[in-house]
Structure 1
Amino acid sequence: MPIETVERFLAALSPHAREHVQRRPREEQERLADAWETELRDDTALDTLSELSPAAAESEAAARVVQGLFD
């Protein structure tokens, strides 16, 4: 996975979530970034948001991906 994908994923996270994810092993960060890309690609509801605000769509997808880490 390209490093840029992980960096884009981390940038889309809230500061608290970003700090939490950065403490995880690199392999897990890559897995989460891959899940984020899949969420962006496959969720049709995010398509509409992405047209209005790409950054908001990326943040929403990132929040969904890491939601389970805080449960």
Structure 2
Amino acid sequence: MCYKLVERYSVCRCLYFQHSIDPCSAYGQRGHSVQEKTVLVGYACTQHSARGTSTSPQDGRWPDSGYCSLKGSCR
């Protein structure tokens, strides 16, 4: 299976960087697909991190990802 790694901002999902395809031995053959793997980086792109956009905090604080909220406090 071939993989393409794509890096996206975690909040707005805008493209940060797209890597080239890591080909396998079946690359280019009929019916072969490329699986996209996404890695989340940073928080928001410059366009979506400006004040007044829909992804900016409403009360001056950014919401957490929910990762630690589910299990209690993070250490």
TM-score w.r.t. structure 2 length? 0.24
Q: Which structure ranks higher in relative contact order (CA pairs < 8 Å, sequence separation ≥ 6)?
A: 1
More helix by share: 1
User: TM-score normalised to the size of structure 1?
Assistant: 0.25
Bigger CA radius of gyration: 2
